[in-house]
């Protein structure tokens, strides 16, 4: 089924005998549920009968969102979590439980993900290796040398928007018995469905494109059959579930997500091309430009003429002060953390997402001090370009 169709139908309108069918799933606030007989409760607790017992385990509003997202991501099952970070924590933990405690991670990852690996997992005995995930030979060598339990990558990396060969890495992971976890926040299931490419777990920050209106913090862990039960079982103990109100908001957001994202993708192409020919701009990083290093992977894995809606660029010769001036001059574009919202947003990686990475390491990763990251919104394109122009 088309993603636009799934977005407005999947998960909703559950039939219950004798009751009217709500057109959208209500917010179920009950913390616990009971049944007409103790026998039924017993069966629900034993997971022999489908049903709800306690909202940390499961809740009808959460279940509706989870069914919707499973449909978008081609997942066996999905867990909605309190944030993208809790999605990462629970996915990595579940995958490592019965595997070697070593994570092979992409060297370009969301800042807090690196902290999670180094400041939380490492002290508990997990070791990490970081690799250029777009260098398939290097990935193969690292798998051979390190025998990782988990391979962790982002489908489109932040902030330089590199695209790794998920399908090939999945083959290597499977041959080595490792679990491939893909953070699909930037690409979204509209562009890439990692599970269809052989990944075991695809997770997202629902805070970003899927909710899309800057009013939810949430995460989604989309699993294949092997990993869904361990993730769900761990969630019952850890309890990092998304509240029913946020589930409702996320589901509401997803209904227009494919529509919004189409326009954001189109606007991003225009922004990238405009900036490429701008005299004040040094380099533009965007998977749709001929200068992008992952052309062939992009052509292979992404639908034609869709490259996501993130554009990064370097302001020619700018130091930190000049970059600050650019941000202070923006009139419409919102200079806030986060991405994927309906409004265009700009972020300065050196002081925000990549602040805690030492300058030398940042430089090695190609993240220069004149780099700006833009999350392109759904506004009229002429207004986005005009604001960028007057601030440059």
- What residues are labeled active site? 56, 110, 183, 208
**Residue 243 in the binding site for ligand PLP (CB under 6 A):** no
Among 93, 158, 264, 312, binds ligand PLP (CB under 6 A): 158
Selection from 137, 135, 131, 134 nearest residue 151 by Cα: 131
Residue range at the interface with ligand PLP (CB under 6 A); choices 35-43, 204-212, 267-275, 374-382 = 204-212
Torsion of the alpha carbons at 53, 56, 61 and 65, rounded to the nearest 10 = -130
Among 183, 294, 314, 341, binds ligand PLP (CB under 6 A): 183
Among 52, 57, 110, 348, binds ligand PLP (CB under 6 A): 110
**Residue 128 in the binding site for ligand PLP (CB under 6 A):** no
**Residue 217 in the binding site for ligand PLP (CB under 6 A):** yes
Q: How far apart are CA 209 and CA 343, in angstroms?
A: 11
**Residue 250 in the binding site for ligand PLP (CB under 6 A):** no
Distances, alpha carbon 329 to alpha carbons 240, 346, 387, 388, 392, in Å: 40, 12, 9, 9, 8
Total number of residues shown for the chain: 392
Selection from 223, 226, 240 nearest residue 77 by Cα: 223
Q: Which residue is nearest to ligand PLP (CB)?
A: 84
Residue range at the interface with ligand PLP (CB under 6 A); choices 43-51, 81-89, 100-108, 122-130 = 81-89
Q: How far apart are CA 339 and CA 212, in angstroms?
A: 8
**Residue 91 in the binding site for ligand PLP (CB under 6 A):** no
Which residue lies nearer to ligand PLP by CB, 113 or 265? 113
Write out the H or E segment, with its range, that includes residue 312: strand 310-315
**Residue 205 in the binding site for ligand PLP (CB under 6 A):** yes
- Calculate Rg over the CA atoms of the chain: 21
- Burial-class residue 36 by CB neighbours within 10 Å (0-12, 13-18, 19+): exposed
Q: How far is the CB of 208 from ligand PLP (least distance, A)?
A: 6
Give the footprint of ligand PLP on this chain (CB under 6 A).
Answer: 83-85, 110, 113, 154, 158, 183, 185-186, 205, 207-208, 217, 219
């Amino acid at each position: 089924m088309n993603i636009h169709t799934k977005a407005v139908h999947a998960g909703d309108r559950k039939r219950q005998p004798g009751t009217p069918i709500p057109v959208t799933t209500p917010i179920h606030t009950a913390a616990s549920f009971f049944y007409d007989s103790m026998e039924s409760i017993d069966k629900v607790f034993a997971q022999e009968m489908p049903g709800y017992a306690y909202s940390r385990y499961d809740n009808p509003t959460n279940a509706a969102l989870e069914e919707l997202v499973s449909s978008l991501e081609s997942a066996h099952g999905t867990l909605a979590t309190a944030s993208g970070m809790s999605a990462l924590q629970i996915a990595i933990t579940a995958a490592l439980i019965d595997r070697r405690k070593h994570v092979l991670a992409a060297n370009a990852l969301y800042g807090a993900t690196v902290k999670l690996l180094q400041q939380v997992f490492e002290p508990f005995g997990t070791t990490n290796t970081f690799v250029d995930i777009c260098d398939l030979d290097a990935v193969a060598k690292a798998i051979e040398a390190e025998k990782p339990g988990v391979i962790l990558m982002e489908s489109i990396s932040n902030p330089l928007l590199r695209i790794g060969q998920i399908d090939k890495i999945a083959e290597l992971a499977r041959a080595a018995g490792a679990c491939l976890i893909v953070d699909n926040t930037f690409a979204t299931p509209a562009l890439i469905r990692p599970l269809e490419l052989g990944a075991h777990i695809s997770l997202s920050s629902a805070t970003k494109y899927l909710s899309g209106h800057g009013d939810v913090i949430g995460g989604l862990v989309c699993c294949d059959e092997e990993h869904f039960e361990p993730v769900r079982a761990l969630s019952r103990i850890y309890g990092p579930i998304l509240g029913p109100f946020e589930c409702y908001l996320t589901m509401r957001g997803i209904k227009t997500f494919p529509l919004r994202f189409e326009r954001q993708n189109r606007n991003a192409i225009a922004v990238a091309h405009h900036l490429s020919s701008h005299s004040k701009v040094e380099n533009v990083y965007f998977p749709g430009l001929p200068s992008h290093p992952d052309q062939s992977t992009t052509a292979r894995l992404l639908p034609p003429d869709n490259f996501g809606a993130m554009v990064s660029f370097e302001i020619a010769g700018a130091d930190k002060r000049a970059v600050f001036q650019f941000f202070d001059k923006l009139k419409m574009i919102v200079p806030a953390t986060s991405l994927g919202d309906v409004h265009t947003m700009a972020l300065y990686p050196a002081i925000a997402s990549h602040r805690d990475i030492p300058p030398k390491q940042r430089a090695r990763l190609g993240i220069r001090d004149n780099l700006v990251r833009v999350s392109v919104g759904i506004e009229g394109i002429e207004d986005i370009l005009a604001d960028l122009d007057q601030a440059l």
